[in-house]
Structure formats: C-alpha cells, structure tokens
Amino acid sequence: HDFFLDNADATDALGARLSDIRASRPNAVFLVRADAELQYDKLAKVLSAMNSAKITKLALVTKVDPKAKPPAP
C-alpha cells in the first residue's frame, strides 16, 4: 500500500512530508483514509509518523456501508 498526502505519493518520505506540511500549515486538519484491506500495522505507522511530526488535528475518514445493519441499542 502507498501513502498519499495532498494526492501525491509520499510512501518513501512520509515523516518528512508530514513535518513539512505541519510547518507550513500549523492549523491544518489531517484526514486519514484507508481501504478495508490495509493492515493495522500500516495504519499504526502513519499515526506514529503523524505523532512524530507533532500533528494533533486529525480525523479518521470512514465509509458507511448502506447495507449494514444499525448497531443494537
């Protein structure tokens, strides 16, 4: 799986790119989106890189399955 920032491939320089973006846009909110096949350790790598870049404003983007049953009360 590849990592993208602002629609640009950042796989090889994830930490550096995150730091650069954070420095130029300190109030930016980062949206994290992953496909269902992504292994947890890959997501953990992204979150760790974000933490190292001192990114504190982030949101996990989810997609709701329209066929899914609502949670039980």
The pTM of this model reads 0.72
Where does the pLDDT of residue 1 fall: very low under 50, low under 70, confident under 90, or very high at 90 and above?
low
**Pick from 22, 13, 16, 47: nearest CA to 33:** 47
Q: What is the CA radius of gyration of the chain?
A: 14
d(CA 42, CA 40): 5
User: Mind listing the pLDDT tens digit for each residue in 28-63?
Assistant: 898 888 877 888 888 888 899 999 999 999 998 877
